[in-house]
Amino acid sequence: MATIFKMSDGRHRAQVRVAGMRPRSKIFTKKKDAEAWSKSIESQLKQAASGDLIDVPADATLRQLIELYEEQVEPVKPFGKNKKAVLKATKKKIGAVKLAALGKNIIRDFVDLRVREGAGGVTISIDLSYLRTILSWARYVRNLNVDPDVVLDAKRSLPRRGLKTRSVERTRVAAPEEIELLIEHYSSRKWRGVIDMISLIRFAALTSLRQEEICKIEISDISLKKMVMIVRDRKHPQEKIGNDSDVPVLDSFIELIEKARDGRKSGKLFDYNPRSVSSSFTRACKKLGIKDLHFHDLRHTATTDLFALGLQIPEVALFTGHKDWKMLRRYTHVKPEGVHLTVRRLMALNADAIQQVVSGEDRAQA
């Protein structure tokens, strides 16, 4: 039942109670608004209590639904920065649309808008996926009478519009000459800046970790005794926050780790802004005339080399963090020219270690 109280300041508090449902209350300036709200909420609660879908209020907007989703879901399952950005943009673009009017034509117009803005098929597909997630949550968690499938037709139409909905897989790896050229560039600078790009480049080209992961590693999460380090919040389609994994520490990592921590017991191993790392790398490549090489390509480089060492897919996945081994298969299709690149790169990165082995053999023979 609904009850309306007049407060000491002249406003009206409306409270609605229905057996088996959480009570709802709200304050209004005018009594008639409180009565109208109480009637609508009482009807909704009764529908929910009976298991029927609740018709959305005529004035309810998509923005309000997204805000409710953010309020109730994010504290339990924190959103990544990309999801936050997409929801913010969606509220700005079509947040004013009434939920009751949210049909295929609205979604189609939203796609038209995103195409005019220059968004690609992959980006638009992600926008639509998040929108469908929210509508599914509204229907199956909040019991609201909304249809998540209104998004599907628009999503299926993307290829017909000539839009690619799958990211182009980069296969670029760094040649050993390119890595050495970059290291020489940073070594020759009189003022190298606060970022130790030489160590970062070598570390990325050995470990296959993403720049965000490298810049997040805590010294306390590295055990040289166990030869393992914890990499936290690794990229994942659904479970990025808390998606931690144990990554093997190979002998070739140790010198870089020791140099970076410099006797410290705590703090980040590489306490740099990932974006600054990427920007510095891009500027250096441009200055040196190295074409189409991104810092992320060092991840591809390292992954290729890990396979070249003879590691199997499940073993390499420990480094890369891939849950779906199909994503790693493209690194196993090695071309003849790629074999020579890999050998030369490993020779360049591990020259000291190789020399130690050779010297040891010479001593043994002597």
Q: Is residue 46 part of a domain?
A: yes
Buried b (16+ CB within 10 A) or exposed e, 210-227: bbbbbbbbebebbeeeee
Q: Where are the alpha helices (DSSP H) in the chain?
A: 31-50, 62-73, 81-94, 104-116, 121-140, 152-160, 176-188, 197-207, 211-214, 251-261, 274-288, 297-308, 313-320, 336-349, 351-365
pLDDT of residue 312: 85
More confident residue, 327 or 28: 28
pLDDT of residue 37: 80
Q: Is residue 73 part of a domain?
A: yes
Instruction: Please indicate, yes or no, whether residues 137 and 243 belong to a single structural domain of this protein.
Output: no
Q: Is residue 171 part of a domain?
A: no
Q: Is residue 17 part of a domain?
A: yes
Indicate whether 142 pLDDT > 70.
Answer: yes
Among 15-24, 102-111, 254-263, 353-362, name the one with the lowest average pLDDT. 353-362
Domains held by the chain: number: 3
List the Cα angle 335/340/346 in 5-degree steps: 120
Instruction: Please indicate, yes or no, whether residues 267 and 293 belong to a single structural domain of this protein.
Output: yes
What percentage of the chain carries pLDDT values higher than 90? 49
**CA-CA distance, 323 to 245, in Å (whole number)?**
11
- Give the residue from 160, 192, 215 where a domain finishes: 160
Model pLDDT for residues 171-189, shown as the tens digit of each residue = 788 999 999 999 999 988 7
Instruction: Please indicate, yes or no, whether residues 102 and 194 belong to a single structural domain of this protein.
Output: no
Two tokens, residue 223: 């055990």
- Mean pLDDT over 54-80 rounds to 90
Q: Is residue 168 part of a domain?
A: no
Instruction: Please indicate, yes or no, whether residues 291 and 213 belong to a single structural domain of this protein.
Output: yes
Instruction: Please indicate, yes or no, whether residues 110 and 32 belong to a single structural domain of this protein.
Output: no
pLDDT of residue 349: 61
Element holding 148 (H helix, E strand): none
Q: Is residue 115 part of a domain?
A: yes
Indicate whether 19 pLDDT > 60.
Answer: yes
Instruction: Please indicate, yes or no, whether residues 183 and 288 belong to a single structural domain of this protein.
Output: yes
- Give the residue from 94, 128, 160 where a domain finishes: 160
pLDDT of residue 41: 77
Instruction: Please indicate, yes or no, whether residues 293 and 152 belong to a single structural domain of this protein.
Output: no
Among 10-14, 42-46, 163-167, name the one with the lowest average pLDDT. 42-46
Q: Is residue 308 part of a domain?
A: yes
Q: Is residue 116 part of a domain?
A: yes
Instruction: Please indicate, yes or no, whether residues 46 and 70 belong to a single structural domain of this protein.
Output: no
Please state, rounded to an integer, the average pLDDT across all residues of the chain.
85
Instruction: Please indicate, yes or no, whether residues 66 and 46 belong to a single structural domain of this protein.
Output: no
Range of the domain at 6: 2-50
Instruction: Please indicate, yes or no, whether residues 13 and 118 belong to a single structural domain of this protein.
Output: no
Instruction: Please indicate, yes or no, whether residues 317 and 360 belong to a single structural domain of this protein.
Output: yes
pLDDT of residue 222: 96
List the Cα angle 322/208/311 in 5-degree steps: 70
pTM for the structure as a whole: 0.60
Instruction: Please indicate, yes or no, whether residues 350 and 207 belong to a single structural domain of this protein.
Output: yes
